[in-house]
Structure 1
């Protein structure tokens, strides 16, 4: 008899609910957001995972705010860590009982891009465009993982098996960050060119920005400066050795000069994305602000890592151009300074094994740095509301009681 399965679903702008959904099977069924071309797709290469930790992400928050074309009843959640409870007939290496991290990118492992480690733009999992993810708008319709159970396709390729289950459970909140935000933040600083002695500016002190700052320190940066308008999130950045700039007091360049003695940094990271605001207290939305700031303050010949999310459909955009993802960028500045840009989904598998080792060997404490906080599945609506209000926390849903969270 199939186990009961409950999940967090988007029910309209500002509203999420915990609902009953079907227990996963090795076939993609029709449902909210499922591409018709994916309906009936067989998944003998998949595994069914019982979630140990499943996190609320800022990318989820964009949908919940009504800033995407996500349909009602879409099951949310792409940051998944769990225990394998069933495997399909084509799964050879992943075993029942394995504790695994599931990259948020769904990748086949067979296409040209996957073979080149570009797993964020797999060609075979989303009929609409390259790239896919669990529980996300326009990503093919793979059911989200903020649930008791979730189907993980291409399990032998996608699942990162933790080598020692007991040891992993001792660091489970850190390891839970491997499915998305730690590799995503790390990708941002790697593509920005961070190395030993670098000076780095990270725009945004949400969980991805804090993960990027953590990654910069891990790579040996000399100075990591984090900018935001949220005092609690800036305090969180300072708690592990970052400098900060308060954007309610104006733009970042003057404050960076006060810290470094020069009005520029070697490397810039956009961890904000398409809902960026201008400078100053009470600033309104101005989605190109961060990218233009980074071009202004990054030294000539430098690079911008852009893990922040940008979309092609934003019903809440400030104008018709923004609703299509068209922003007023000062590209001439970037060209004149010979700046490089890297955008798009992080290819999680490029980084997650190495970052796992860094966690297991106590080289980094990512859960502490991002303010990881466990709550029960039924508390998800509260977690979304508090995260949206600016809480300096990364909410981790304890859907099945592995983390010892008491029911609300």
Structure 2
């Protein structure tokens, strides 16, 4: 049997490259696999040789020990691959296709999938709607930071690129289609970004930068990105964004200096539950800070897109409320200003093909925007450490040598 190597979570702050079973068309028992999913027949699936698989900020929450992820969970939900085997129920996806894998696992059959709500599929996670590869409490589908990975419901889930050579030439852009580009774009769309909008994006990590690129693609007049990390703010400026340093205080005053008013039309939270305070409190975790700040700086009638991750269980939360995902939000302020809120997993398929076409036809350079940086599978643990330390890079793991040096 073919061997397989993968990146696994070992404990807080520790990831290692391990030997792991080669995929089969059946979901086997293993770390994090929901007992009700063990033995699940995946005749509708495909086995991929991984072309690229990215380290995500969502992975970092697990690696920091901020979830209930078990040891030896194989990580990775941002996957691009080459199809090398298909199950007997696969009709349209072919061996040899280069494909993008939405991080949402969806059946294509349930009510939510039929309504394009693929982030909350009802049939792939026995515990609750929604699933993802290599992620805690998501059903136990094995992650893709590996040499090989199984994708269920292949005809439904996989987006095949039209030309192999073109795909491999643009792979650093196309690899962002599995998660962060649609996720950031979804944040901008749900916030209401349109032609002429002024937009504030909290967080200059890869999702925030993807949201900024998405806002530009949607026609925003001004995109302002806020963060504590100057290197990441410089990355935002590199493709035409304005920036604010929230270590200097709440963003309103800095927004007024940039825009003439202390408010924006719409805003995106690309930070999530490990948010820190602003100004003098920047060294302390304060998980409601970003959401409350965005309600303050968004004009009445505006919208907040919230692709930043919030969890129902956080062992490292600052208090008992935070440990169960309960935050002290100024909901009264949001209500008084008639703000709209959109949360949850991005339904990747809603945007998948359109953003692919934007990449293939050179309407956006998402790899440049997020500073895509290829590394080998063996370099993944160091990549995790560097990303956690604040590197302004999007690490793209190249486990099978598809990405040229």
TM-score by length of 2: 0.99
Shift of 1:310: 0.2
1:379 match: secondary structure: helix
Question: What does residue 369 of structure 2 align with?
Answer: 369
Shift of 1:4: 1.3
1:142-166 CA distances to partner (integer Å, 9 max, x unpaired)? 0000000000000000000001111
Question: What does residue 268 of structure 2 align with?
Answer: 269
Q: Is 1:135 aligned with 2:130?
A: no
Q: Is 1:343 aligned with 2:343?
A: yes
1:304 match: secondary structure: strand
State the alpha-carbon separation in 2 of the partners of residues 351 and 90 from structure 1.
26
1:248-281 CA distances to partner (integer Å, 9 max, x unpaired)? 1111010001000001000010000000000126
Shift of 1:3: 1.8
Q: Is 1:317 aligned with 2:317?
A: yes
Shift of 1:283: 2.5
Question: What does residue 386 of structure 2 align with?
Answer: 386
- Structure 1 stretches of 4+ with a deviation exceeding 6 A read none
State the alpha-carbon separation in 1 of the partners of residues 158 and 309 from structure 2.
24
Is there any run of 5+ residues in structure 1 with no aligned partner, and where?
none
State the alpha-carbon separation in 1 of the partners of residues 302 and 260 from structure 2.
18
TM-score by length of 1: 0.98
State the alpha-carbon separation in 2 of the partners of residues 250 and 341 from structure 1.
24
State the alpha-carbon separation in 1 of the partners of residues 18 and 229 from structure 2.
32
1:216 match: secondary structure: helix
Instruction: Trace 1:182-331 onto structure 2 (pairs within 5 A).
Output: 182-280=181-279, 282-331=282-331
1:274 match: secondary structure: coil
Instruction: Trace 1:81-96 onto structure 2 (pairs within 5 A).
Output: 81-96=80-95
Question: What does residue 120 of structure 1 align with?
Answer: 119
1:215-268 CA distances to partner (integer Å, 9 max, x unpaired)? 000000000000000000000000000000001111101000100000100001
State the alpha-carbon separation in 2 of the partners of residues 362 and 403 from structure 1.
19
| Cα RMSD, aligned residues only | 0.6
1:144-191 CA distances to partner (integer Å, 9 max, x unpaired)? 000000000000000000011111111010000000000000000000
State the alpha-carbon separation in 2 of the partners of residues 396 and 169 from structure 1.
14
Question: What does residue 103 of structure 2 align with?
Answer: 104
1:16-75 CA distances to partner (integer Å, 9 max, x unpaired)? 000000000000000000000000000000000000000000000000000000000000
Question: What does residue 402 of structure 1 align with?
Answer: 402
Question: What does residue 11 of structure 1 align with?
Answer: 10
State the alpha-carbon separation in 2 of the partners of residues 43 and 109 from structure 1.
14
